[in-house]
Structure 1
């Protein structure tokens, strides 16, 4: 590693700040841009630049952590975007959860400028990011993945090379589809149990200790059941990812009936609890079942 390397983050929310901490610990200099804080310094002392283009011009490697396709579009393209400021031979690592189509478009646009692009969404939330134990789901060519490895190793415990550009995004949607739809199914079944007369605490305690329920979902049952829905993975992001999954699956002719049904339930939760953790579906489903039984 060259001590002179500068890693620029476009998007500097909770996940990005935790990833940046590990990038900094690996010996790199970190700078950042976010639309809400142009210039000055972030709370952690990171120097903030005034535009994506300015940040890219000052960086050897750019890491993007934005919430959706629209945010990627506005930050990457145009006269003031990331690609306008990147040097030929630069490396762009996109950790955002976006559509496979958006990831492939970014790769193609980067290639036209001689910039390597890797789509590298992550599996894990703020606790895993804090510990540097994310699983990185990387899409890209072998050479770009190899160049990105030191940075991906800094933020995660494992990198899965899912295939060519865009396939990291595909794998991310598969994982989130399983995670969110499973939580929705658990929540509906728990709602039925309460409506049918099971003691709520007995039910949740039982579900949170079963081998058929994953450790992740056991934790969510315990937290949401006790009223803790602090956002590790906000509902609006979970709902967004389900929408991306359904759209891309439709383009490939892949039926997703179970996940489509879960999306409807998450749409309901998203109306009033968009900023709460996606596990808010559990108390919501139990409340709905109890109300319908009255």
Structure 2
């Protein structure tokens, strides 16, 4: 059992579940949340990120985007101001490669250790401690962070130096989002062609061409359950990050660009629903609506 204290910057659905597993592993856990809300009775909430950093041996960042990272990092009340030299910063947030590099540089300037470790998995995996951690770090920093990563995930993939974890996460989420869009388009065709809805969803749940992750999304969509495991607003954000990163490397990603647009459209009405709500949006687009003459 360890006596180290972990401070979470951001403590939403994913962070709170990771915190539970870290407490089970023997860590003390505190949090800073921009809203000031307490997620569970076992996790004290500190008023500022700098105060949290001052009492933490390790900081875990779990916030939604680039701006949220730097709002919590910089300034007199940011965690960079309060962290002691040698503190390990583990960034599990999905942010842009440029933001990852900037944050790494800021941490180095303060004498802090930095591990780029976004995660693959949603709330079911976080609850079970079965996330896959995608790590960009030096060998020594990875080993220093490994006990924490092992408490919240089943596997840590060392993708390379800082920044490689972020880029690998964008690859994975691009596949996830683009594949769901292809499935949704095919479901739309199937329904508009007259296939029975229940039969269609059941068939797709049985065939090998659909991944286990997407079979789970299909099952939720079939019964109209879009409780957020991975909200559309975050998936849409990640697709946008990937499109921007792909442009900077002159990569050819037309299918991902189309999925980015589809998810951006779904985000207008389903921002806080699970991103599988894209299936519902496309289903609704193919439901027969009588022409004005038919209504008469």
TM range (shorter): over 0.9
1:276 alignment counterpart: 273
1:205 alignment counterpart: 202
Q: Secondary structure at the match of 2:278?
A: helix
> 1:8, 1:61 within 8 Å by CA — same for their partners in 2?
yes
2:21 alignment counterpart: 22
5+ residue gaps in structure 2? 292-296
> 2:12, 2:39 within 8 Å by CA — same for their partners in 1?
no
Instruction: Please say if 1:75 is aligned against 2:67.
Output: no
CA RMSD of aligned residues (A): 1.3
Instruction: Please say if 1:262 is aligned against 2:282.
Output: no
Q: Deviations over 1:200-239 (max 9, x none)?
A: 1111111111101111111111111111111000000000
User: Counterparts of 2:201 and 2:126 in 1: how far apart (Å)?
Assistant: 28
Q: Secondary structure at the match of 2:135?
A: strand
- Of the three residues 128, 131, 134, the one matched with 1:131 is 128
> 2:16, 2:39 within 8 Å by CA — same for their partners in 1?
no
Q: Secondary structure at the match of 2:276?
A: helix
Regions of 4+ moved over 4 Å: 291-294
- Of the three residues 44, 51, 55, the one matched with 2:41 is 44
2:11 alignment counterpart: 12
Q: Structure 1 292/103 Cα, relative in aligned 2: closer, same or farther at 3 Å?
A: farther
User: Counterparts of 1:293 and 1:177 in 2: how far apart (Å)?
Assistant: 37
Question: 1:43: Cα distance to partner?
Answer: 2.5
Question: 1:100: Cα distance to partner?
Answer: 1.2
5+ residue gaps in structure 1? none
User: Counterparts of 2:218 and 2:82 in 1: how far apart (Å)?
Assistant: 46
How many pairs are equivalent? 291
> 1:191, 1:290 within 8 Å by CA — same for their partners in 2?
no
User: Counterparts of 1:57 and 1:174 in 2: how far apart (Å)?
Assistant: 35
User: Counterparts of 1:148 and 1:224 in 2: how far apart (Å)?
Assistant: 38
User: Counterparts of 2:122 and 2:56 in 1: how far apart (Å)?
Assistant: 26
Question: 1:37: Cα distance to partner?
Answer: 1.2
Q: Deviations over 1:22-64 (max 9, x none)?
A: 11111111111001116xx542321111100010011111001
TM (norm. structure 1) is 0.96
